[in-house]
């Protein structure tokens, strides 16, 4: 019999934690529970956990601390989803720390189940799925050449993460949640190219505090060579971020 995915729910609010656990159990998941980050880390260290759903603000040890310790153990596993009722952390900061999603309380059951289902799909499998949603995607490519054949700005700056990338874009930026097609020079990959489709998770319209203007893009589908090269890059380099903020060295 195939093992059910195991989800750890971490929240100091017992009532909310049990509601989330019940919704997940009814959806077919095996659910573990913890009241704070210390308990949650102990579970991850001692149990096979596929996904952590954690509150951000908790006494004793909060969700941000928990995520940091989990990512120090393994940058890519288990998947991690934040839930919060406060403005403790922005979604782009959460993605940079290594979370895949960010849900605000009160949590809608359907949204929770959708996010959990998506987060549990192995990334390589996720990047090989095609969709008709990509048909009208805007193409983002390297800066075009002028009439003399000279590069106007050179290849775009790219910083790769476990599930997406930061891409430097100064003008005509895509909108949040827009699907875009990418065809880019990427020296970090063996083939030197990164081609496929992604969803924009956030944008930074102007450079700020040492971070360049650009967008955080989550990978949705990658061409075979790009997918192979990215999986190899992640295994060798082990970046912590799911989608980087962009201040890292490219």
pLDDT single digits (tens) 14-46:
999 999 999 999 999 999 999 999 999 999 999
pLDDT single digits (tens) 59-75:
888 999 999 999 999 99
pLDDT at 209: 83
Tell me the C-alpha distance between 53 and 13, whole Å: 13
Tell me the C-alpha distance between 75 and 238, whole Å: 6
Tell me the C-alpha distance between 101 and 14, whole Å: 22
Q: 10 Å Cβ neighbour count for 83? A: 23
pLDDT above 70 covers what percent of the chain?
94
- Tracing tokens 């049990």 back to the chain, one arrives at 18
| Domains observed in the chain | 6-120 (3.40.50.2300), 132-237 (2.40.10)
Three-class SS of residue 165?
strand
CB-CB contact of 102 with 112 (8 Å): no
The overall average pLDDT reported for the chain is 90
């Amino acid at each position: 019999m195939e093992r059910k995915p195991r989800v750890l729910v971490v929240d100091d609010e017992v009532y909310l934690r049990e509601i989330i656990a019940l919704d997940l159990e009814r959806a077919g998941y095996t659910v573990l529970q913890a009241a704070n980050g210390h308990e949650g880390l102990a579970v991850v260290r001692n149990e096979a956990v596929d996904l952590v759903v954690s509150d951000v603000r908790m006494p004793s040890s909060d969700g941000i601390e928990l995520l940091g310790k989990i990512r120090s153990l393994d940058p890519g596993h288990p998947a991690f989803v934040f839930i919060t009722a406060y403005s403790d952390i922005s979604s782009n900061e959460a993605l940079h720390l290594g979370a895949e999603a960010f849900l605000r309380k009160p949590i809608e059951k359907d949204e929770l189940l959708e996010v959990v289902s998506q987060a549990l799909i192995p990334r390589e499998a996720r990047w090989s799925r095609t969709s008709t949603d990509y048909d009208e995607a805007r193409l983002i490519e390297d800066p075009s050449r002028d009439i003399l054949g000279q590069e106007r700005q050179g290849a775009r700056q790219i910083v790769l993460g476990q599930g997406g990338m930061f891409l430097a874009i100064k003008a005509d930026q895509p909108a949040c949640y827009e699907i875009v097609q990418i065809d880019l020079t990427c020296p970090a990959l063996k083939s030197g190219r990164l081609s496929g489709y992604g969803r924009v998770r956030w944008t930074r319209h102007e450079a700020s505090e040492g971070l360049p203007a650009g967008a955080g893009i989550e990978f949705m589908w990658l061409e075979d060579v790009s997918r192979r090269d990215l999986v190899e890059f992640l295994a060798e380099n082990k970046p912590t971020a799911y989608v980087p903020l962009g201040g890292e060295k490219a």
